[in-house]
Amino acid sequence: MLLVDEIVSETDSSIVCRKSFSADEFFFHGHFPDSPIVPGVIQCECCLQAGAVLLSKASESASSTALPVATRMDSVKFKKMVRPGDTAEIEVTLNEQVSNAYYLTGKLKVAGKLAARLDFTVTMSEPEVSV
């Protein structure tokens, strides 16, 4: 499930992406049928995916098989409802790197207003080898 439609801008330590939420997104059917809003977990996932794109550039010098795995989310706040037809701007900033752990902040905005904010940690992990 891809939740990033386009990359708007990118530096070594930040990325801005966009996601347009169409009325036929699967999660609107149950959240909520008569008054659909984007679930908070989906808003968080938008930030996590934008962070993964940012880290794919930062970790190119590391192992090419390492995968970004979310290991922590803190200070998650939802400020504004996101509805069908809204286009979200997703801003993610890399705050710190310690070994293979990356500490990031994500902000999801709609029409320039903050809808969600979170601090999160991603660890670059080697995939498990199945035998």
Please confirm, yes or no, whether 31 is among the known catalytic residues. yes
> CA torsion, points 20, 21, 23, 25, in degrees to nearest 10?
130
Instruction: For 3-41, give the DSSP string.
Output: ---EEEEE-SSEEEEEEE--TT-GGGGTS-TTS----HH
What's the distance, Cα to Cα, between the start and end of the chain in Å? Answer: 27
CA-CA distance, 4 to 63, in Å (whole number)? 24
Indicate which residue of 31, 53, 67, 100 is catalytic. 31
Q: Would you say 43 and 82 are in contact if contact means Cβ atoms under 8 Å apart? A: yes
Collapsed DSSP state (helix, strand, coil) of residue 88: strand
Residues with a catalytic annotation lie at: 31
